[in-house]
Amino acid sequence: MTTKVKGLKAKYNIGIDIGGTTIKAGIIDEKGEFLELDKNAFDVFPVEVRDNKVIIETKTDISGKDFIYGLSDLVAYIMIANKLEKANINSLGICAPGWIREGDWVYCNSIPNVSGAHLTKDLENMLGIPVYAANDAKAAAVAEYEHRKSLGKSMLFFIVGTGIGGAYIDKNGKLFESDDNFNLEVGHTVVDQGASTRDCNCGRKGHFEAHASTITLVNMANEKYGWTQDEKQFLVTIHSFNDLDEIGKEKVWWGINENQVEYAVNLLNQESLNPKVSYGELLTRFRFLLEKNDTHNMINKIMDGENVDDSMLKDCAKQLRDKYEWIKNGETIYGAAKAGNQEANELINDQIEQLAIGISNANAIMNSRQIVISGAMSKSFDFIKDRLIKRVNEMRLSPELKIEITAGQVQDGGILGAAALYKQYGKEKVRSARVQGKF
Spell out the domain ranges in the chain. 2-145+414-436, 185-220+341-408, 227-327
The pTM (predicted TM-score) of the whole model is 0.77
Helix (H, G, I), strand (E, B) or coil at 10: coil
- Contact by Cβ (8 Å): 35, 28: yes
CATH architecture of 185-220+341-408: 2-Layer Sandwich (3.30)
In angstroms, the Cα distances linking 282 to 236, 286, 287 are: 11, 6, 9
Q: Which CATH architecture has domain 2-145+414-436?
A: 2-Layer Sandwich (3.30)
Sheet holding 117-118, edge to edge: 99-101, 104-107, 117-118
**CA-wise closest residue to 131 among 84, 92, 96:** 92
CA 175 → CA 139, 167, 230, 345, distances in Å?
Answer: 9, 8, 52, 36
Domains 2-145+414-436 and 185-220+341-408 share a fold: yes
Q: What pLDDT tens digit does each residue of the chain (439 aa) get?
A: 566 555 445 689 999 999 988 999 999 998 899 999 999 999 989 999 999 999 999 998 899 999 999 999 999 999 999 999 999 999 999 999 989 998 999 988 788 889 999 999 999 999 999 999 999 999 999 999 988 887 778 999 999 988 899 999 999 999 998 888 888 899 999 999 888 899 988 889 999 999 999 989 999 998 888 766 555 554 444 444 444 444 444 444 434 444 444 444 443 344 333 444 343 444 444 444 444 334 444 444 444 444 444 444 334 334 445 567 788 889 999 999 999 999 999 999 999 999 999 999 999 999 999 999 998 888 899 999 999 999 999 998 888 888 999 999 999 999 999 999 999 987 555 444 444 555 5
For residues 133 and 91, is the Cβ–Cβ distance under 8 A? no
